[in-house]
Structure 1
Amino acid sequence: MSNPAIYSLTPITFRLDLKDPFIFTAHHIDHFPEGNSQLGPNTPAEQKEFSMYYGDIVPGFPEHPHTGFETITLVEQGTVDHFDSLGNGGRYGAGDVQWLSTGSGVEHCEMFPLLHEHQPNPFELFQIWFNSSPAQKKAPPDYKMFWREDIPHVYETDDSGLTADVRVISGQFKDTAAISRPPNSWAAPSENRVNIYLITLPPHAALTVPATTARSNRFGYFYQGSTLSIEDQQIQRKYLAELKPDSDIRLQAGYSEARILWMEGEPIGEDVAMRGPFVMNTVQELDDAFRRYRATRFGEWPWSNPAPVFDRKQPRFASYDGGKREEYPEEPEKNAV
């Protein structure tokens, strides 16, 4: 690679393979049609550009277990219904982020209800699989909603008067800090410098991302736009760049708006043993985790079926403490997804 700021460039179709403390990121894009009365597609999947994933009626991922890592789900378009074995549930939509620490083990489901009956239901989300330290893998599971109304934005104007928008999901961008992460997260302490941004550049706009530490791993995924210049090297859409962490990095959009998912953080520095939805440090720990799951199911599934969804008119919300406490991003009657 001739550019010293760019360590590697990888074309992406779906999965972004990353480095410690990140595991990988999945980028889901689906062109769902109008929804039917059951919140599923009114057209067979084979006739459209979408996947049902593991759902039969509603697309999504029915009841399944996780342990030993975190899922950070950034929704750009569409709706997600969440249910878990702790008795919590919630609905979140475009612009919202869910941060789930799976810790010692949890079952959950993520379904993608198609709320619009008379128009298409475009869908796009990123799900970042983010590792946990050995101590955090033993902690109780926990999750937190970052509502779009609360996520901080930084607006940076370049020398041409064009303004970039940086959504600060984790960590800090210059003087602007993100919402606090769940406490048992490698991303919670500021010294781990886990910065996750969603960057939007208007056509031809430029933005400089400040340096982090030499130990950090740093990635930029250019997922929407015509072209993007990284330190004067032009790259194409749907490329993942591994970048020099301890240098300022200048980005500039091409002739159309550019969007970039930016991820960087200090490594945990532990061995990773991964088998399906379980991420531990050794094979023995994986075997123990699977035995524990077979014995306990990480708690009884409290819902009537493995792929529940809420009513079409349910506003965005989250429940905590086994469903005893509810949180809404705004007044429910005003809260349309």
Structure 2
Amino acid sequence: MIIEKGKNSFQLKCQNPFVVTMHHIDYYPKGNAELGPIEMKQIKRDNYGGDFNFNDRWKMYYGKKVPGFPAHPHRGFETITIVLKGFVDHTDGLGSSGRYGNGDVQWMTAGSGLQHAEMFPLIYEDKENTLELFQIWLSLDYMDRMVDPDYKMLWNEDIPILNIKDENNKLTNIRLIAGKLKGEKPPKPAKNSYASKEESKLSIQIIEMEPKAKYKTPYVSDTLNRSIYFLKGDKLLVEGETLYNNEYAFLTGDEISLENIGEEKTQILLLEAEPIDGPIVAYGNYVMNSMEEIEKAYEDFRDTQFGGWPFDKREIYHDKNEKRFEKHEEGNVFYPGLENKE
């Protein structure tokens, strides 16, 4: 059943243990030789220097040459970045780095504290560089706030897609990023993630339904927090109630009927999990157990920079010709589909 519904915004309204989710969609133009936009626009910088004018087709955010988010700190939670289109260049203060996109997912545990940069390189000079991604902030369990930072890639090639047909042969595709469904499991999340605990029953799914398709979510539990975000499509029937484009619904953990009653294919983000039975206090870049711990995070960052930033600039992006890769602090480089390189 539907517990609550409403309109989406840039920051999607979330339920415990999900803290906040952002849906970025930027219609970037062709890129230049430095991976920035070929035609730099005049930007009014507000929000502490950022660029968040949602009337524009694309944003530089905090980037000056290349769009994105130069080095900034986090503590106490995880970021799960699901890139549907475009690319992201990752660098963190531990020395890890990577480039991922077009279906890849990055799972990063900030834990006790970490700085990272996430830039959006405009790789293509001969065509537009549309970027679409979700970034989900997932709370760590209240006992695990200060675990060691971690970073893991879930490559597009390894993420299962379930193709489910209803009684009328209409198709629903489910991209399973976390959790298990109908016997399928994606790659494991980061090791200390709340999602790695069986009892969390955590699942992240992207659901695409062709017109007239019907699908029922399975029963999970009576205490589950389940949220759906209807981001593309016309009309979605949820337990007999109509959800319109760019609306959300909070649902029970029962078997829930969904039907695409519009004329377009849907895109639905589903987040579900058992709530964390402990405090979750989010403020700025930190998620902790109390405001006192938030204040301590700010103090620690001033004193230690969470281990520092061993680079001469805050806005870091990789070589234009670099392929998708994952590099950890020990130096090993992994290219999806290829053998590891030392």
Q: Is contact 2:105-2:155 (8 Å) kept?
A: yes
**1:20 partnered with 2:16:** yes
Post-superposition offset of 1:46: 4.8
- Corresponding residue of 2:181: 173
- What do the CA deviations read for 1:29-51 (whole angstroms, capped 9, x no partner)? 11100101111111233595110
**1:11 partnered with 2:7:** yes
Q: Is contact 1:8-1:241 (8 Å) kept?
A: yes
Counterpart-to-counterpart distance in 2, 1:280 and 1:123: 31
Q: Is contact 1:219-1:264 (8 Å) kept?
A: yes
Post-superposition offset of 1:303: 2.4
After the TM superposition, which of the residue ranges 42-51 and 25-34 deviates more from structure 2? 42-51
Q: Is contact 2:104-2:155 (8 Å) kept?
A: yes
SS at match of 1:80: strand
Post-superposition offset of 1:275: 2.0
Aligned residue pairs: how many? 326
Post-superposition offset of 1:278: 0.8
Q: Is contact 2:111-2:146 (8 Å) kept?
A: yes
1:187 to 182, 190, 195: 195
1:328 to 303, 312, 335: 335
- Corresponding residue of 2:230: 222
SS at match of 1:285: helix
Counterpart-to-counterpart distance in 2, 1:325 and 1:189: 28
SS at match of 2:90: strand
SS at match of 2:145: helix
Q: Is contact 1:40-1:113 (8 Å) kept?
A: yes
SS at match of 1:42: coil
After the TM superposition, which of the residue ranges 263-272 and 226-235 deviates more from structure 2? 226-235
Counterpart-to-counterpart distance in 2, 1:7 and 1:45: 43
SS at match of 1:221: strand
2:22 maps to amino acid: A
Q: Is contact 2:67-2:119 (8 Å) kept?
A: yes
1:248 to 252, 255, 259: 255
Post-superposition offset of 1:119: 0.9
Post-superposition offset of 1:218: 0.6
Post-superposition offset of 1:273: 2.1
- Corresponding residue of 2:278: 270
**Structure 2: runs of 5+ lacking an equivalent:** 44-55
Q: Is contact 1:197-1:262 (8 Å) kept?
A: yes
**Percent of aligned pairs with the same residue?**
39
Post-superposition offset of 1:276: 0.5
1:329 maps to amino acid: P
Post-superposition offset of 1:271: 1.8
- Corresponding residue of 1:335: none
Counterpart-to-counterpart distance in 1, 2:3 and 2:41: 39
Post-superposition offset of 1:323: 4.7
Where do 4+ consecutive residues of structure 1 move more than 4 Å?
Answer: none
With normalisation by structure 1, the TM-score equals 0.94
Post-superposition offset of 1:207: 1.2
Q: CA RMSD in A?
A: 1.4
1:57 to 65, 79, 89: 65
Q: Is contact 1:45-1:52 (8 Å) kept?
A: no
Post-superposition offset of 1:153: 1.4
Counterpart-to-counterpart distance in 1, 2:28 and 2:42: 12
**Structure 1: runs of 5+ lacking an equivalent:** 333-337
Post-superposition offset of 1:10: 1.4
Counterpart-to-counterpart distance in 2, 1:6 and 1:108: 38
Post-superposition offset of 1:13: 2.7
**1:156 partnered with 2:164:** yes
1:325 maps to amino acid: N
**1:198 partnered with 2:206:** yes
Q: Is contact 2:99-2:323 (8 Å) kept?
A: yes
- Corresponding residue of 2:122: 114
Q: Is contact 1:45-1:51 (8 Å) kept?
A: no
Q: Is contact 1:229-1:251 (8 Å) kept?
A: yes
2:110 to 98, 102, 105: 102
- What do the CA deviations read for 1:235-259 (whole angstroms, capped 9, x no partner)? 11111111122x1111122211011
- What do the CA deviations read for 1:80-111 (whole angstroms, capped 9, x no partner)? 00000010000001101001111000000000
Counterpart-to-counterpart distance in 2, 1:65 and 1:273: 16
Post-superposition offset of 1:331: 3.2
SS at match of 2:73: strand
**1:306 partnered with 2:302:** no
Post-superposition offset of 1:179: 1.4
With normalisation by structure 2, the TM-score equals 0.92
